[in-house]
Structure 1
Amino acid sequence: MHLSTKRAGHALLLLFVLSGFAGLIYQSVWSHYLGLTLGHAAYAQSLVLAIFMGGMALGAWLASRFSLNWRSLILAYAVIEVGIGVAGLLFHPIFVGYMALSTSTVLPGLTSPQLAHGWQWLSAAMLIAPQCVLLGATFPILSAGYMRLAPDEAGPILGGLYFSNSLGAAAGALVTAFLLLPTLGMPGSMLVAGALNLLVGVGAWAVWRQTGDGASAAIPTGAPMQAAAVPTAGRGFVRLILLAAAITGATSFVYEIGWVRMLNQALGTTVHAFELMLAAFILGLAFGGLWVRRRCKSESDAVAMAGYAQILMGIAALVSIPMFNQSFRWVGWLMHQLVRDDTGYAWFSAGSGAIAMAVMFPAAFFAGMTLPLFTLALLRRGVGESSIGRVYAANTLGAIIGVFVMVHLLVPGIGVRLAVTLAALFDVALGLYLLRRVSPGRATRGYALASMAVVAAALVSLHFGKPDPHKQVAGVFRTGNWRVDESMRIPYLRDGKTATVSVATDADARAASIATNGKPDASLALNLSVAPQPDEVTMLMAAALPLALHPDPRRVAVIGWGSGLTTHTLLGSPVPRVVESVEIERAMYDGARLFGERVARGYDDPRSKIRIEDARTYFATSNRRYDVIVSEPSNPWVSGVASLFTEEFYGFIHRHLEEDGILVQWVQSYELNDQLLGTMISALLQVFPQTDVYVTNRGDLLMVASRDRAHAPNWAALAAEPLRSELQRVGLGSSAEFQLRRIGGPATLRNLVKLTGATPHSDYYPTVSLQAPRARFKGESADFLLYLTGNGLPVQDILGERVPPGVAAVIADTGASEAHMLALSMRSSLLAGRVDDVLRQRWPSFADAAEQLFVLSAVVVDGSRQKAWSQALTTVSENVTGILPREDVAMLFDHPAWLANAAQQPVEVRTLLAMHAAAARRDASEMLRVAMQVLEQRRDRIARDAREQALVVAMLGAVGTGKPALVATIERQYGPDIPPTQRCGRMRSWLLSWVDGAE
């Protein structure tokens, strides 16, 4: 059975959809792969774009040179697709071998960053270039092969293939981000793409068998479309068209990069946002091709059509800037309308895609018209089918130029908005030239109207597209506020190579924050007389811990400059000989200068060395090793950042630490969940089994990982000035204040990993970067670890993971010490038998609970009042018993003066009080015995919270007495009738996980 020409064409269009789908899987996943060697998602994306386009240009040019001699282009296309598929199947193992060679052999032998960059960019290009060359050959070869079947359908064929391939590409971008990478990871996604190319190759072979000489087909393959004997196009015309194709390729990718950079500030710098923007851009190209397919036959002058398309593309690009200005308001509306759950995130993603379409689609639509039209113009003037490859090559070569000029010249030189405006003017100028000089028949009314439209668009763009820094720094994708208050001052706003960096201060210029793409990275007071910001505790503590925990921290590296306060703090000690801070974005380093004296040592101390570089590249060059590495990257949901929280990266860090080296790793608990945090901790523990965890404020954690073994802290190392005064200011002036913030050690972290069922985070399975944006949108928190010290019961004490500081400890009254201060006040009230003034003023709700306990305890607590009494006792005890050490709380519930007629109290009251006394003494056997008695009491005589507290005390007692199997038994017996609360419910899960598998 032979295929008709129409059916064969439909089959080829369908195959080209699949080919485009696979092609965007490659482009998307290659960005992740190359980000591991280049160090930043923006660099990886620009390199992939450049190599992708460069390889395609070369492939298209080769096709234009040699395809005329090939008898069956459809068969050749099938072979090429099979070659692409085989390369896709082999890519992952080849890349793994390349990374091992690069990081362990090549980079350590290079002595300069320039050589390292040369190796990285050249080797990365060679990894993907072969496939890109083959991909570039597919469009011209399939187009020519298809046109040999239907020589009179050149325009519809070109537009149809461009549409089908681009449509598949847009779908590929979305499916990769939202389905393939989350379920299969990078290796699995590459296998899917490779398999699709093999399927396309087999399908094309089947079409060839039915239409070509392979089966004596009724439909001949067709002869090559040779150039006319006397082409109506001279060399000048051909060169002009090729130059025009190159210009439109360059401007298109200036737009794409510019739009992505702008929309990152409204939609957030995430993998999902990038792929949505990429899909919007490609979809515009697709429908531009579809328009050409449907309209080209009725338009005789392809050059004029292309001229108008260029002008309209420029106009649309100019208008995209005011549209971008409105995007902040649209995102704010979305954030306020949507419920923060999985369905809401799906709608937010859809809305983000719609916003990206509004900004990008119009100009991309006209950009999608130009390539088929330029090709059609040459074909109609008798240049022959080689023109397909030549135009495609010129267009993709222009795209390469556009990528590099945009990233390395225009963005740092004139900024993103002006770069987009300049590209728009180039397009307009090209379109007007084509209409006036090449197609003069149209240079009349249409030319005049086009010129007027350009002027109008320019005026609209200048007026409504004026930069508004108060929108750009708002971080609307996080806060829902599309604009910050007018009183906020923004003294610094710069488009860097990788991100837009801003510094904003409050109205009184007392505090400032530095942000990338609207996401604050650090906030601090601008002078020491002002109360510290919460971020300051994190940055000072990240510097102070290694100074105290490492015996001789002479050589220190800091990953991520941020505000510069961590580096400044490290240099407050005389011990470090050199502190090398590695920051990939110079605009961040320059902007942080505005923090002035607060970070001055980072800029002025001769021991401070700043390296504008990717950390992996810099460390690997000359095989640098350090005593301490402090890693403070941005939030893991930011595209590219999660690769700094993987098992492979920690293995890399391990090799660059000295034998007794320490890694300090920051990670936030907000905009995350325990599963994702467990994934990152699991990766850390695979490489650094000896790791402790500290909390710095209400939302930030520090992991202190030792390469060999943990050393006893030397707190005297923090006594030197000015370090001591700076630490004291933020509540870190004594060893007890560090003790207060320590949550636990390796066993605590291993149990979190076990409880969450997390697997180690891997470079090749980017779970965090794919799932963290959803957690951010939902407002989730990874707060399980925080409950370990704030649940009110001696959980970590019994488990041997933590001893809290006591009454005698010197601890400043800060936000981090609030629970400790509350416990001191509650203890004082219990000892006195009356509510003290501090408790009444600062914590009135807890004062009411203590007052109720004292009132109810003044007489015999009969059955009608026992439930209220047990609730009051539970509230009081959970704010003191587990917060202070045993020696400071043991006496609180043994024969308390506030309980009248103790001997006459009902057995239920005496038993519950005895349970609290046992917990205060950390008497595990008594805790188990008495808590079991409480659990057997009448339920109508005891508050539900008190019963759950008794359940946890019993489980703790079982652990403390060496009876781990009893923990699960207690939960099975009593747990079903006690619904878990947030506070105690988590501790039940924690203890069940702790003893799981224990004998």
Structure 2
Amino acid sequence: ALTVLTGFTGLVYEVTWQKYLATLLGSHSEATAAVLALFLGGLSLGYALFGRATAWLLIRARERGKPPRLLAFYAAIEGAIGVYALLFPTLYGGVQELSLVLPVFESGTGFFFDVLLSAVLIAPPSILMGGTIPILTLVLSESLDTATRVHAWVYGFNTVGAFAGALLGGFFLIPALGLDKVSYSMGCINICAALVFLILDRTTVQTVSGAEDEPEAVPGARVPGYFVLIAVAALSGFAMMTIQTVLNRIGGLAFGASIFTFAMVVAVFVFSIAVGSLVVSFLPRISSRTIVATQWSLVLFVVLLYGLIPNAPYYAHVARSLFQPTDAAFYSYQFFSFLGLLAVLIIPIGLSGALLPLLFHHLRQTVGDLGTTAGSLYSWNTAGSLLGALLGGYALLFFFDLHVVFRIALGALVLCAGLLTVLLLPISRFAALVLVVIPACAGIWSLPEWDPERLDSGLFRTRQATALSYSGADAFFGNRMRRIIFHRDGPSTTATVREGRKNDERPGFSLSTNGKPDGSLVGDYPTMALAALFPALLAEETRRSFVIGYGTGVTAGELAALGEMQEVHVAEISQAVMDAAPYFEVGNQAPLASPKVIIHRSDAYRSLLRAEGLYDIIVSEPSNPWVSGVEMLFSREFLGAAKDKLTPGGVYAQWFHLYEVDNEALELVLRTYLSVFDQVSLWFTMQADLVIMGIQDSDRALDVEAMRTRFQRPDLQAGFERVGIDNLAAVFAHEIIPLGVLNALDLEGPVQTLRHPRLSHLAAKAFFRGKQATLPEVVRPESVRVGLKNSLLRKLVEGKPLPPVVLGVAATENCRFDRGNTCATFIAKWMHEHPFSGQLARVLSKLRKNPRVASELRGDFIESLVVFYNAEQKRMRLEPAPLAKTLNKTRRYLKNFNLVVPFERRALDRIWRACDTPPCEEPRLNLEARIGPLDLSPPRLPNS
């Protein structure tokens, strides 16, 4: 049980450290590579050090004629791990401060120094964890005959605990407790385990490995084939860690690159390794042929796996289509996906897990010292794993795509099998090389490349079965192809450029990262352009700007096109995205050709913290928050850093979306913004795309005359015209929630922080459901008062009622971007005030031609909204209504409510007065608890 428990804490530490280092290094992929490398490197050094330490303790104990007290030694190690875990959050804070004062290095050199900083944090506990297997193998082995079984047992059950830690840490512990509390909790577990081992040391008579009949220890270097076995252990570690990092990326392409995918792949690996090790413990006899056959079987199954990988997104889609998009089905789907991965990987990964126990069995009779034997094997295997994490998981991807890196790992496995064949079977080196190794390597390099059309298809967003979902991968993909003109696997990102539909102004190129569409020059142009233009209109000056995420380059291009702009700094972490950038120069104002644009190949957090000077505009366009590593850009710490880098009249703008997210995640984001910025406003760019703007100076951000002057600048006008906006009223029609309104809402709850990340967990679950979030209700009287006062559209008409021309512009702008409900509200307001307007009829007829909003513009629907502007009873003529009808009207009132043209509150009161039966009393009280009393006088318009 203690062995399982220590394995559990070890993987929880690994998952937790990965989240810590993602903040320190600024990259999920770099953090994963660094954690794997340092964790495994520390284990390697620990295996070696503690293998030798146990041998020294045994010699000393024999010389003194006393038991070696290895359990007490191991208790001290567990206790030290626990104490370090309790100190880790404090140590991390110090290292993070140190990282910010160090000079900035480019690419590979920078990553090297990042790894050194990370080593300061996680190398010490990792080395201590390396004592588990060599010490417990020695303590629990009664004789050499049982050593192989005990060793496999220790390794296997320790890995079972690690499997549980990987799942529980990623899925539950971190979202529930936060990083610091998880570290404290695991530290307490280690300290408790240390106390138990100390008690066992005092109550157990320790005899180690049948010392009386143990053969004289022989130095490993003098054992025939010792260096070959060490080389096999190292090569195997390199190959399997490289394969794991590649499969992490494939998992992201198949299931979506969420935190759950990473945890699931790691869990499958450690569970399969545990199974392979435990199987060895039950083998009645182990021959040399068994060892060789195991390794060649591993090669065969990895080759079969190579052939399955291109269709992984299809298989994941089929699995996803079997589950309904509900909360109840989320964990069932994750478990089913885990079982599917396990079914595919358990044999090859299990075979790899059996290798070290098999090699230990071969060496144990000749080396004699069990602790040193286990320590040496695991040390070299883990050293190879370290290289696999650094090279296969990072460095090689600067030069090769994923399928090439996978082939390199496969070649290493072939070399392992060839070395074991020569060492353990009666075959000459030449014969093995000519007849086995060379043909196998040639076969590997003749394998077909992975098809990016399939791997980068982004099927994880297709939740429902299609007509061809169950017809096989070939039939399914044969009907979905779009021409890929660029594909590149980088260390952190797989980037793909596709050619799609085009318009008269620009080609239809689109960018996908890790299989997820992240922008196109046609459909997404308004969002990417307006993310730059809205803050440019509100900011006092437009001289310096900072863009987080290059993407298609549209935002950077629009900012660089402004005449006053002097510098546009862009932080882009993915080299693959920058390699794809030239394809978009034909439609994004060519930012790469502009001397104003400065690209920083680095993460946004550290680039911003280290940036010199202040910025008038900061625009953040991250990927969706369910993507691993993105939630950092929504944290209170990051927003605080951005605020500190703004000029007094500056604006921070961040893209967010309402699709594939829920209200809980949206409100978490808004609460976090409000905890940093005193004034926040929300604007729409498309039907479900938002720009959240944090304002430094609210007075300047409400100065409509200054904005009118800026809008008359030819450069800013040209930018808005590129998205079809030619007047200031149309711009202000995009404002959904004016400044100060969110502050008036009751958005109680936690905020997103780096030490307690919640957003990616919430967003991943919401992504599974695929629903659309709704903005917070702004119907309370205080919200309406602030909204009417600060609405830029109302300030444009100097606080007077909106004239028909402005109502028409606002309605048209909302309908143009498929916001049918808001469009209908403006039409209803117009119809209420000018019911016989011929201009209204013409505008409404034109807007109804858009099929995506036609249902909201039906005559009966518009008339049902007009009722909400009639406050007088004599005009409403309400008949007694049942509760169901009253609730339907209330939902329509709340869904279509707009702060610029708010409905009459008394109209809703009249509706509920008509519902006068006893069942109506409690629902009305619940409604008033949400939005305030219904019978208040309407708020007066400013200046009216």
TM exceeding 0.5? yes
**Which amino acid counterpart does residue 455 of structure 2 have in structure 1?**
Q
Structure 1 gap segments, 5+ residues each: 1-13, 214-218, 526-532, 853-871, 882-912, 919-925
User: Partners in 2 of 1:836 and 1:760 — Cα distance?
Assistant: 47
User: Partners in 2 of 1:815 and 1:193 — Cα distance?
Assistant: 50
**Which amino acid counterpart does residue 118 of structure 2 have in structure 1?**
A
Paired residues for 1:416-427 under 5 Å: 416-427=402-413
The question of 1:77 aligning with 2:77 is answered no
The question of 1:431 aligning with 2:425 is answered no
Normalised to the residue count of structure 2, the TM-score between the two structures is 0.84
Task: Give the structure with higher Rg (CA).
Answer: 1
Corresponding position of 1:475: 458
- Deviation (angstroms), 1:655: 2.5
Corresponding position of 1:5: none
Counterpart pick for 2:490 among 456, 474, 496: 496
SS of equivalent to 1:93 = helix
Distance change in 2, residues 1:319/1:838 (3 Å): same
After TM superposition, the structure 1 stretch with the greater mean CA deviation from structure 2, 761-770 or 727-736, is 727-736
The question of 1:47 aligning with 2:34 is answered yes
Corresponding position of 2:817: 815
After TM superposition, the structure 1 stretch with the greater mean CA deviation from structure 2, 689-698 or 562-571, is 689-698
Corresponding position of 2:528: 539
Counterpart pick for 2:890 among 939, 948, 951: 948
* Matched-pair contact (CA < 8 Å) for 1:317–1:421: no
* Matched-pair contact (CA < 8 Å) for 2:273–2:353: yes
The question of 1:761 aligning with 2:752 is answered yes
The question of 1:690 aligning with 2:679 is answered yes
Paired residues for 1:285-300 under 5 Å: 285-295=273-283, 297-300=284-287
User: Partners in 1 of 2:731 and 2:774 — Cα distance?
Assistant: 19
User: Partners in 2 of 1:478 and 1:990 — Cα distance?
Assistant: 35
Corresponding position of 1:610: 599
SS of equivalent to 2:805 = coil
- Deviation (angstroms), 1:788: 6.0
CA deviations over 1:327-361 (Å, ceiling 9, x no partner): 22222212322111022212221232123224432
SS of equivalent to 2:568 = strand
SS of equivalent to 1:597 = coil
The question of 1:38 aligning with 2:25 is answered yes
Corresponding position of 1:895: none
After TM superposition, the structure 1 stretch with the greater mean CA deviation from structure 2, 610-619 or 711-720, is 711-720
After TM superposition, the structure 1 stretch with the greater mean CA deviation from structure 2, 819-828 or 508-517, is 819-828
Q: Aligned residues, how many?
A: 882
* Matched-pair contact (CA < 8 Å) for 1:75–1:204: yes
Distance change in 2, residues 1:448/1:587 (3 Å): closer
SS of equivalent to 2:718 = helix
Percent identity at matched positions?
A: 25
After TM superposition, the structure 1 stretch with the greater mean CA deviation from structure 2, 939-948 or 635-644, is 939-948
User: Partners in 2 of 1:584 and 1:731 — Cα distance?
Assistant: 32
Paired residues for 1:367-378 under 5 Å: 367-378=352-363
The question of 1:345 aligning with 2:300 is answered no
Distance change in 2, residues 1:836/1:84 (3 Å): same
Corresponding position of 1:145: 139
CA deviations over 1:126-145 (Å, ceiling 9, x no partner): 11111001011221122122
Corresponding position of 2:722: 729
Paired residues for 1:346-385 under 5 Å: 346-385=331-370
Corresponding position of 1:391: 377
CA deviations over 1:538-587 (Å, ceiling 9, x no partner): 11111112221112221111000111100000011111111011000011
Counterpart pick for 1:333 among 311, 315, 318: 318
Distance change in 2, residues 1:961/1:40 (3 Å): same
- Deviation (angstroms), 1:520: 0.7
* Matched-pair contact (CA < 8 Å) for 1:22–1:169: yes
After TM superposition, the structure 1 stretch with the greater mean CA deviation from structure 2, 198-207 or 587-596, is 198-207
Paired residues for 1:894-905 under 5 Å: none
User: Partners in 2 of 1:393 and 1:566 — Cα distance?
Assistant: 49
Corresponding position of 1:310: 295
**Which amino acid counterpart does residue 67 of structure 1 have in structure 2?**
T
Counterpart pick for 1:506 among 500, 503, 516: 500
User: Partners in 2 of 1:255 and 1:512 — Cα distance?
Assistant: 32
After TM superposition, the structure 1 stretch with the greater mean CA deviation from structure 2, 643-652 or 16-25, is 643-652
Corresponding position of 1:271: 259
**Which amino acid counterpart does residue 166 of structure 1 have in structure 2?**
T
Corresponding position of 1:647: 636
Corresponding position of 2:469: none
**Which amino acid counterpart does residue 177 of structure 1 have in structure 2?**
G
* Matched-pair contact (CA < 8 Å) for 2:880–2:915: no
User: Partners in 1 of 2:883 and 2:576 — Cα distance?
Assistant: 65
SS of equivalent to 2:724 = coil
Corresponding position of 2:63: none
**Which amino acid counterpart does residue 331 of structure 1 have in structure 2?**
A
The question of 1:19 aligning with 2:36 is answered no
* Matched-pair contact (CA < 8 Å) for 1:637–1:772: yes
Paired residues for 1:394-413 under 5 Å: 394-413=380-399
**Which amino acid counterpart does residue 367 of structure 1 have in structure 2?**
S
- Deviation (angstroms), 1:803: 4.7
After TM superposition, the structure 1 stretch with the greater mean CA deviation from structure 2, 132-141 or 116-125, is 116-125
Distance change in 2, residues 1:850/1:86 (3 Å): closer
- Deviation (angstroms), 1:312: 2.0
CA deviations over 1:497-525 (Å, ceiling 9, x no partner): 11211111226794121011111111123
Corresponding position of 2:171: 178
The question of 1:158 aligning with 2:121 is answered no
After TM superposition, the structure 1 stretch with the greater mean CA deviation from structure 2, 705-714 or 286-295, is 705-714
The question of 1:562 aligning with 2:567 is answered no
CA deviations over 1:564-614 (Å, ceiling 9, x no partner): 100000011111111011000011122132123212431100011111101
* Matched-pair contact (CA < 8 Å) for 2:687–2:819: no
Distance change in 2, residues 1:960/1:312 (3 Å): closer
* Matched-pair contact (CA < 8 Å) for 1:550–1:661: yes
User: Partners in 1 of 2:623 and 2:115 — Cα distance?
Assistant: 24
Distance change in 2, residues 1:114/1:404 (3 Å): closer
- Deviation (angstroms), 1:443: 8.1
Distance change in 2, residues 1:930/1:631 (3 Å): farther
CA deviations over 1:388-422 (Å, ceiling 9, x no partner): 11111111111111111113332232211121122
After TM superposition, the structure 1 stretch with the greater mean CA deviation from structure 2, 39-48 or 621-630, is 621-630
SS of equivalent to 2:771 = coil
* Matched-pair contact (CA < 8 Å) for 1:690–1:710: no
* Matched-pair contact (CA < 8 Å) for 1:245–1:398: yes
Corresponding position of 1:529: none
Corresponding position of 1:831: 836
**Which amino acid counterpart does residue 416 of structure 1 have in structure 2?**
L
Distance change in 2, residues 1:462/1:383 (3 Å): same
SS of equivalent to 2:394 = helix
User: Partners in 2 of 1:63 and 1:849 — Cα distance?
Assistant: 72
Distance change in 2, residues 1:114/1:242 (3 Å): closer
SS of equivalent to 1:474 = coil
- Deviation (angstroms), 1:487: 5.0
Corresponding position of 1:738: 731
SS of equivalent to 1:609 = strand
Distance change in 2, residues 1:230/1:188 (3 Å): closer
User: Partners in 2 of 1:202 and 1:252 — Cα distance?
Assistant: 35
* Matched-pair contact (CA < 8 Å) for 1:627–1:660: yes
* Matched-pair contact (CA < 8 Å) for 1:579–1:609: yes
* Matched-pair contact (CA < 8 Å) for 1:944–1:978: no
- Deviation (angstroms), 1:723: 4.8
**Which amino acid counterpart does residue 176 of structure 1 have in structure 2?**
G
Corresponding position of 2:51: 64
User: Partners in 2 of 1:233 and 1:990 — Cα distance?
Assistant: 79
Corresponding position of 2:692: 703
**Which amino acid counterpart does residue 920 of structure 2 have in structure 1?**
D
Corresponding position of 1:977: 920
CA deviations over 1:137-190 (Å, ceiling 9, x no partner): 22112212222x433211101111111111111111111122212221212221
- Deviation (angstroms), 1:322: 2.1
Corresponding position of 1:195: 188
Paired residues for 1:205-224 under 5 Å: 205-212=198-205, 223=211
Distance change in 2, residues 1:181/1:973 (3 Å): farther
Normalised to the residue count of structure 1, the TM-score between the two structures is 0.80
Distance change in 2, residues 1:849/1:779 (3 Å): closer
Structure 2 gap segments, 5+ residues each: 58-67, 467-475, 795-801, 940-944
Distance change in 2, residues 1:625/1:974 (3 Å): farther
